[in-house]
Structure 1
């Protein structure tokens, strides 16, 4: 069976920095030190008012595709929950901006923090079924456009960002899979934006706002996510060199590491300087861990994304990049 691998990753953060000074200035009653102690996030990145997820995606892809021929990309998967328009599909707009071939398969995936894992499964499936040869997987969101600046559960956590990942047939030590997935739509209210779509009758003038039940999301990670990863590890029975979890918060990653019995030195973290970048968090963490030498060619990695939906996914990744 044809095996696939990650060939390259690039990313783009929002243009403006937001942090403790700004949070405190806008919200004098917040206990900033307590918030940062729990989240582990010292700064977030915010897109400019005129800057959208599609713009960030274009920049991330531009960095990656400058290295090779755009004509080789025959599929584009865009994972986003903050599209420029309800329709058309943002992937179609990105195809035009990047000047990708008109023969390319392009589509959106409306998923949040589990989106990279799902997108990686779709990309590798396209390659392994010989439908496509070079898949560009893009994860991009601008959650800050949905955040109330007085909401400490979201403003101090989420960053705007895009990550572009090129998946191709394996030529070395790289590999993708196996995978495990799960969904529990009965708990969708834990992370939701209610306004601005059909259920709210597209009310004119309504401002879509992200609402997060922090306690509910944490309980989800302490039960469902932990159990899912533990079961996956037992079934896989391989030695994992590094664990790359969705960079939700320090509290969440601390809990996963402790309850799964993972040595701290094998856990990749970058949320302190990047924040929670939703579906882009895992590829950005992979890129930075590779640059820092924490992830090396030949390593076996376990990736796990979880959040909005509620949705979760886990996979193994053979790292082949030098």
Structure 2
């Protein structure tokens, strides 16, 4: 699906991290592999450290810590908020939505809309799309888009395929209407036939969590142990998907925007690992220098939060002073893959917060 928006912008962006930072080497003893082999994986994938929440931390804790900062700095007033969107695959509860928890915590007006979206790797992209659509009906109001993941709680510490790359984080974007006459181009694609490529089998209505689903096993005979309550990733399938399906979609989006690859200042992508990003840049014939690849090595892969975390970490205050023509793209669970081509910059704030969680 391709469409275009006009008169919309990301007014401000805050990335929120947990304070606990764990080095790759500190967890190598969890894995049933020789240390030398595991170090090779570290170098290939770009692993260094990741951020992981504390045992009792929930998704809303990161969201509230971040929004407290935004409110205290006066970057937005409560009365300016017209809608709250929370995108996550790790909501606090099956019911109610995390947006309701945030709404109640701050005592927002009954007229403030609340939306929760179940989405993983393309979460920020889908949330941005929904925010732009809502703003068509919210003159004078703004959308606060929360994207949050605490997937470390759903990933086996004995699964070397998944756990080293997982990171927890949240982002909060203030989305608003603007008089700027600039087009925003969007392209989104889905293939539900491959939904099992990234899946947490137990915990929903299909398979409830039980003592049996919590039993750790080497399901694939590859030395990685997990249970049915944990994230399962088909690494080979996901890699092939990113190499085969994502580049044509990005090029199609650029063509839709009337641009060539060299017209883009920055390619701000979801970050599964450095190896995969290098291969994607090569497929697109884009210089590595235009594709920041340092999120996984510093913070881990926080699913949909990777794109806004990429922006906040690599640009920060520059996003309040400059403007860049960017291609944002994310790809993963669903399977889903999408892209935006848009101007980013002249924000009122763009920074990172390390929370107590």
TM-score between both structures, scaled by the size of structure 2: 0.84
* Greater Cα offset, 290-299 or 81-90: 290-299
1:3 to 1, 7, 10: 7
Gaps of 5+ in 1: none
2:310 to 278, 285, 304: 285
Partner of 2:165: 157
Q: How far apart, in 1, do the equivalents of 2:39 and 2:140 lie? A: 49
Partner of 1:215: 236
Partner of 1:187: 194
3-state SS of the aligned residue for 1:197? Answer: coil
Partner of 2:34: 29
- Sort the Cα spacing of 1:267 and 1:89 in 2 relative to 1 into closer, same or farther, 3 A: same
Q: Is 1:251 aligned with 2:268?
A: no
Q: How far apart, in 1, do the equivalents of 2:143 and 2:320 lie? A: 23
List aligned pairs for 1:28-47, cutoff 5 A: 29-30=34-35, 31-47=37-53
Partner of 1:314: 339
> Residue 274 of structure 1: CA displacement?
1.7
Q: Which has the larger radius of gyration?
A: 2
> Residue 201 of structure 1: CA displacement?
4.2
> Residue 17 of structure 1: CA displacement?
1.4
1:177 to 169, 172, 184: 184
Q: How far apart, in 2, do the equivalents of 1:142 and 1:48 lie? A: 10
Partner of 2:217: none
RMSD (Å) for aligned C-alpha atoms: 2.1
* Greater Cα offset, 60-69 or 24-33: 24-33
3-state SS of the aligned residue for 1:152? Answer: coil
TM-score between both structures, scaled by the size of structure 1: 0.93
Partner of 2:222: none
3-state SS of the aligned residue for 2:172? Answer: strand
> Residue 53 of structure 1: CA displacement?
1.1
> Residue 176 of structure 1: CA displacement?
6.5
Q: How far apart, in 1, do the equivalents of 2:104 and 2:47 lie? A: 36
Number of residues of Structure 1 aligned to a counterpart in Structure 2: 321
3-state SS of the aligned residue for 2:148? Answer: strand
Q: How far apart, in 2, do the equivalents of 1:267 and 1:283 lie? A: 14
> Residue 14 of structure 1: CA displacement?
2.3
Partner of 2:124: 116
Q: How far apart, in 2, do the equivalents of 1:273 and 1:44 lie? A: 6
Partner of 1:133: 141
